[in-house]
Amino acid sequence: MHSRPNGEADSDSGELAQSTQDLEALVLNALDDDKAEDVVAIDLTGKSSVTDVMVIASGRSNRHVGAMADHLVRKLKDAGHGKVAIEGLKTCDWVLIDAGDVIVHLFRPEVRSFYDLEKMWSVSPDGSA
């Protein structure tokens, strides 16, 4: 269930959850189409006030990362997610795409290993972040 910052339950929580799932599916399909490597989706619902899902993927080179980012942003805009923020396109070592309920990190493999976001956001055995 989604809640508002003031703690009230959101009456549209079912619709919001479905919207987030649809957005996640769009992102994952786009990355699959572009041959992204080592794609991981991390559910952050209730763990982060910034986003509900974080998707992390690698590209083979700067050009591959840049092309994946460009294609993903285009697909998000075509699907009606026009307020997409993007950072890191200048170097394409690490590109962040903020689509609201889903944030996407696209890395070159060496950069991904260095920052190791999966470990930072992993869930411990007791179920906490």
pLDDT band at 106 (very low <50, low <70, confident <90, very high): very high
Distance CA(76)–CA(126), nearest Å, equals: 35
Write down the pTM of the prediction: 0.81
Cβ-contact 108, 95 below 8 angstroms: no
Residue 124 has pLDDT above 70, yes or no: no
Under the banding of pLDDT at 50, 70 and 90, the label for residue 18 is: low
The CATH code that applies to domain 13-121 is 3.30.460.10
Read off the pLDDT of residues 27-59 as tens digits, 9 standing for 90 and up.
999 999 999 999 999 988 878 878 889 999 999
What tokens were used for 17? 């959850």
Tokens describing residue 103: 């944030």
Strand ranges for the chain from DSSP E: 37-43, 53-58, 85-87, 94-98, 102-107
pLDDT interval class at 122 (50, 70, 90): confident
Phi, psi dihedral angles at 86 (to 5 degrees)? -135, 135
